[in-house]
């Protein structure tokens, strides 16, 4: 049955999907690059957090502080040495390179960590819940949604109020003119991908604390993230949050009717939104 509780769960799940999607949305907004390895990079970050947490004996929330700069460096290097070489009018090379990367990351993780599923142990916070009205709401899902809102707020502030954000927007609008103004697009792109992977690390810590993960789950996360971005409208970060919530709601409602339908109803919601509003709910850019 679809109850108020189901709807609440759906909205909270949407927070996680918005976190998956924020990095994708950021990179697409700035350089029109769709990173097919985004889901696998999130899983990679989750393993990195797992390793840091177990080696240094840290709580996942502290381990992510160590993992985030590492992931920033990974993003920077990836963009500088690989992705910048394939950006251009032809869409094929970046797509195929990121697809190749996705397969490489998945199988490298499989080689290194086996197919066994892992989990980030978060301690007591995992099981705590709050009473809101007549509903019991888990602290962890609530924290996820709050983090998603904070991340998106911060990215928006960065975009619209800082010099770096101005450079992002300028490069996105017209890379050639931006270059004339002394901006180096390749460096801007490297920072953007680095930032996207910092967001991916934050997504990873919640992914890993919420449920089990293994090397093969990346592509499915990519699909949810992508659906959230498209439903929200390309280039709109708050739209991405809304899109994540739409997918989260659809999935929880589907699962409430029949557990096997969870993913299916999410996909169908995506198709329906796109049939009714081809440019998403809050379209910003004309692409």
Of 60 and 75, nearer to other proteins (C-beta) is 75
Which residues does 185 contact at the CB level (< 8 Å), separation at least 6? 171, 175, 178, 179
Shortest CB 132 distance to other proteins, Å: 33
- Determine which residue in the list 111, 176, 180, 276 makes contact with other proteins, applying CB under 8 A: 111
Q: Which of residues 4, 56, 73, 96 is near other proteins by CB under 8 A? A: 96
**Cα–Cα dist 241/163, whole Å:** 25
* Position 85 contacts other proteins (CB under 8 A): yes
Measuring CA to CA, how many Å separate 75 from each of 37, 134, 201, 286?
12, 44, 11, 27
Residue 227 in contact with other proteins, rule: CB under 8 A: yes
40 binds other proteins (CB under 8 A): no
Q: Which two tokens stand for residue 53?
A: 């947490």
Q: Which is nearer to other proteins, 35 or 147 (CB)?
A: 35
* Interface residue with other proteins, options 59, 119, 267, 284 (CB under 8 A): 267
Residue 219: exposed, middle, or buried by beta-carbon count in 10 A (0-12, 13-18, 19+)?
middle
Q: Do 238 and 245 touch, CB atoms closer than 8 A?
A: no
| Residue 275 interacting with other proteins (CB under 8 A) | yes
Q: Does 95 participate in binding other proteins (rule CB under 8 A)?
A: yes
Q: Which residues contact 256 (CB under 8 A, 6 or more apart)?
A: 1, 2, 3, 6
Give me the helix-helix angle, 60-78 and 38-56, nearest 10°. 130
Binding test (CB under 8 A) with other proteins, winner from 58, 62, 70, 274: 274
Nearer to other proteins, 117 or 161 (CB): 117
Selected binder of other proteins within 107, 117, 161, 212 (CB under 8 A): 107
113 interacts with other proteins by CB under 8 A? no
Nearer to other proteins, 89 or 176 (CB): 89
Q: What share of the chain is helix, strand, coil (3-state, %, to 5)?
A: 80, 5, 20
Q: Please report, for residues 115, 260, 286, the alpha-carbon distance to residue 144 in angstroms, rounded to integers and kept in the order given.
A: 26, 24, 31
Q: Which of 6, 7, 34, 284 binds other proteins (CB under 8 A)?
A: 34
The token pair at 137 is 């709401």
Any idea what DSSP says for residue 281? Answer: S
Among 66, 108, 175, 281, binds other proteins (CB under 8 A): 108
Taking residues 187 to 206 in sequence order and writing x for each that binds other proteins by CB under 8 A, - otherwise, the string is --------------------
Binding flag, residue 219, other proteins (CB under 8 A): yes
Among 275, 202, 167, residue whose Cα is nearest residue 21: 202
Alpha-carbon distance 233 to 26, whole Å?
12
Say whether residue 231 binds other proteins (CB under 8 A): no
Q: Which residues bind other proteins (CB under 8 A)?
A: 32-34, 36, 82, 85-86, 91-97, 99-104, 106-108, 110-111, 219-220, 222-223, 226-227, 230, 260, 263-264, 267-268, 270-271, 274-275, 278, 287
């Amino acid at each position: 049955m679809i109850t108020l509780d189901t709807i609440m769960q759906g909205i909270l799940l949407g927070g996680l999907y918005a976190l998956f999607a924020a990095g994708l949305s950021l990179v697409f907004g700035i350089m029109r690059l769709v990173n097919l390895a985004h889901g696998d990079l999130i899983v990679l970050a989750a393993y990195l957090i797992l390793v840091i947490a177990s080696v240094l004996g840290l709580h996942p929330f502290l381990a992510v502080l160590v993992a985030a700069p590492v992931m920033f460096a990974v993003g920077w290097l990836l963009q500088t040495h690989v992705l910048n070489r394939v950006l251009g009018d032809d869409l094929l090379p970046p797509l195929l390179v990121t697809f190749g990367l996705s397969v490489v990351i998945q199988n490298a993780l499989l080689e290194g960590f086996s197919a066994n599923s892992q989990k980030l142990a978060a301690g007591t916070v995992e099981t705590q819940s709050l009473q809101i009205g007549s509903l019991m709401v888990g602290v962890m899902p609530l924290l996820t949604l709050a983090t998603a809102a904070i991340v998106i707020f911060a990215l928006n502030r960065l975009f619209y109020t800082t010099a770096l954000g101005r450079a992002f927007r300028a490069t996105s609008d017209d890379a050639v003119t931006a270059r004339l103004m002394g901006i180096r697009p390749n460096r801007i792109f490297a920072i953007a991908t680095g930032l996207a992977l910092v967001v991916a690390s934050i997504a990873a810590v919640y992914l890993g604390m919420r449920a089990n993960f293994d090397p093969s789950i990346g592509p499915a996360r990519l699909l949810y993230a992508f659906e959230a971005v498209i439903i929200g409208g390309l280039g709109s970060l708050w739209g991405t949050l809304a899109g994540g919530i739409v997918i989260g709601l659809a999935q929880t409602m589907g699962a409430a009717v029949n557990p096997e339908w969870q993913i299916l109803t999410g996909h169908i919601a995506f198709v329906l939104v796109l049939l009714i509003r081809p440019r998403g709910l809050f379209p910003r850019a004309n692409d």
